[in-house]
Amino acid sequence: MNKQNLVLEAMPGRSIDINGRQFLYFSGTSYLGMARNESFQELLREGLARYGANYGGSRLGNIRFAVFEEAEAWLAAFAGAPAALTVSSGSLAGRLLVEHLRAKASFHFAPGTHPALWGEGEYYQGEFREWVEYILRESAGEEGPMALFANSVDPLLVRKNNFDWLRRLPENRPITVVVDDSHGFGVCGDEGAGVWRELAAPDNVELVVISSLGKAMGIPGGLILGSTALVGQAWHSPFFGGASPAPPAFLYAMLKAAPLYRSAHRKLLANIRHFELQTGSLTWLRSIGDYPAFFTSEIPLAPWLKEKNCLISQFAYPTPEDEPVTRIVLSALHEEEDIDYLAGAILAYAKEK
């Protein structure tokens, strides 16, 4: 184990105690703070009392629970998509889509595509915008079905990918576009509804969004958004029928938690804007506007902030031999005084560097 790793005994909230020392915590993916939201935990206790800790059966069995379809209807309406399907993880959502499309189309992967979506195909090395121009040229010249895979947000380098180019795809061939919104769903878009409403393409283009529900939404599960036909095809996949679903107790809590999500999203935006107001002059701190992660190339910032009792995200990527990626991640759990303290420490670093 890397000696720099911190092994925790409990899930952090806005702070964490390590060997008797209190740190403010600015890392992780619980953007809306649901992992430590007491009201959400109370709803989860209700769900556990009703459904138990887990359900290990198949959704295709003759014994079924209405909460699955109710949760999927809510998620589809929230995102603005025609239909939704929940599975046990975001990674399974990706694998299910890959297996569904295998041998039906040529695969093309944008830079940074999550491994859950990998398959036999073409992996582009370069910038996202360069990949887009390449795909537009290839799609105009090739024949046969294509499947394009991309992230909505790069959560490590903190970049948001633009999908206006989908309107420029050719109208004379079947194309499927799969967008991984794991780090955008619950955070980006209107009230955190994610990327679906930003996607517009010709009628021959099948749009699909997948997401982990374990980030902002605080649910151990995954999500597929798409047309009613595509969701129906995914339902009949052996990768769906042969897998256990997301725990119904958590889906119950999610359905009851709509007001909590809205409130947490507003708090998160307020925290982001308060932080940006104080640190916006720092050119080496990068974000994408109303997004809770901030990237910096200032590697020494992490140990500096640790000395000031602030823990931020820093780890080598994409391999253990690479330079560490350094980020600050805000959540809805942070209070204004937390943001003030963090910003003050960062500004102090800026004066000394």
Q: Containing domain of residue 135, as a range?
A: 42-256
Structure tokens at 282: 């720092």
Burial 55-68 (b: 16+ CB within 10 A, else e): beeebeeeeebebb
- Whether residues 60 and 203 fall in one domain: yes
> Are residues 278 and 147 part of one domain?
no
Contact 124, 112 (CB under 8 A): no
Q: What is the pLDDT along the chain (353 residues), one digit of tens a residue?
A: 344 667 766 677 899 988 889 999 999 999 999 999 999 999 999 999 999 998 888 888 888 899 999 999 999 999 999 999 999 999 999 999 999 999 999 999 999 999 999 999 999 999 999 999 999 999 998 789 999 999 999 999 999 999 999 999 999 999 999 999 999 999 999 999 999 999 999 999 999 999 999 999 999 999 999 999 999 999 999 989 898 999 999 999 999 999 999 999 999 999 999 999 999 999 999 999 899 999 999 999 999 999 999 999 999 877 788 889 999 999 999 999 999 999 999 999 999 87
149 and 219 belong to one structural domain: yes
| Helix (H) / strand (E) containing 114 | none
CB atoms within 10 A of CB 216: 30
Identify whether 306 is part of a domain: yes
SS3 at position 212: strand
CATH number at residue 152: 3.40.640.10
CA atoms in the 13 A half-sphere facing the CB of 30: 19
Q: How far apart are CA 178 and CA 176, in angstroms?
A: 6
Query: Does 109 map to a domain?
Result: yes
Q: Is the same domain home to 251 and 283?
A: no
Confirm whether 153 is domain-assigned.
Answer: yes
Do 142 and 66 have their domain in common?
Answer: yes
What does the longest C-alpha to C-alpha distance in the chain come to?
Answer: 66
How long a stretch of residues is the chain?
353
Q: Domain check: are 184 and 241 in the same one?
A: yes
Asked if residue 211 lies in contact with residue 223, where contact means CB atoms within 8 angstroms, the answer is: yes
User: Are residues 236 and 178 part of one domain?
Assistant: yes
Q: Is residue 307 part of a domain?
A: yes
In a domain, 9, yes or no: no
- Whether residues 140 and 48 share a domain: the answer is yes
User: Under a CB-based contact definition with an 8 Å cutoff, are residues 312 and 300 in contact?
Assistant: no
For residues 81 and 139, what is the distance between their CA atoms, to the nearest angstrom? 25
CA atoms of 163 and 195, how far apart (whole Å): 9
* Residues 181 and 285 placed together within one structural domain of the fold: no
Strands (E), the chain: 15-18, 21-26, 83-87, 106-109, 122-123, 146-151, 153-154, 159-160, 175-180, 205-212, 222-226, 285-286, 293-296, 310-316, 324-329
What 3-state class would DSSP assign to 310? strand
Measured distance CA(266)–CA(282) in Å, rounded: 25
Structure tokens at 72: 């999927």
Examine the domain organization and report whether 240 and 273 are in the same domain.
no
7 located within any domain: no
Tokens 């799969």 — which residue?
A: 178
| 214 located within any domain | yes
Beta bridge partner(s), residue 103: none
Classify residue 134 as exposed, middle or buried by CB count within 10 Å of its CB (0-12, 13-18, 19+). middle
- Residues 6 or more apart in contact with residue 348 via CB below 8 angstroms: 308
Distance CA 196, CA 190 (A): 11
Q: Which of 236, 256, 276 is a domain's end point?
A: 256
Bridge partners of 106, per DSSP, are 146
pLDDT at 13: 82
Output the pTM of the full model. Answer: 0.94
Report the alpha-carbon distance of residue 227 to residue 178 in Å, rounded.
12
In a domain, 178, yes or no: yes
Domain boundary pick from 235, 256, 277:
256
Residues 134 and 270 grouped into a single domain: no
- Point out the domain boundary residue: 256, 278, 310: 256
Contact at 8 Å (CB) between 92 and 222? yes
Q: Tell whether 167 and 291 lie within a shared domain.
A: no
**Domain count of the chain?**
2
Residue 188, sorted as left (phi over 0), alpha (psi -120 to 50) or beta, turns out to be beta
Q: Which residues of 95-122 are buried (b: 16+ CB within 10 A; e: fewer)?
A: bbbbebbeeebbbbbbbbbbebbebebe
CATH assignment of the domain containing 345: 3.90.1150.10
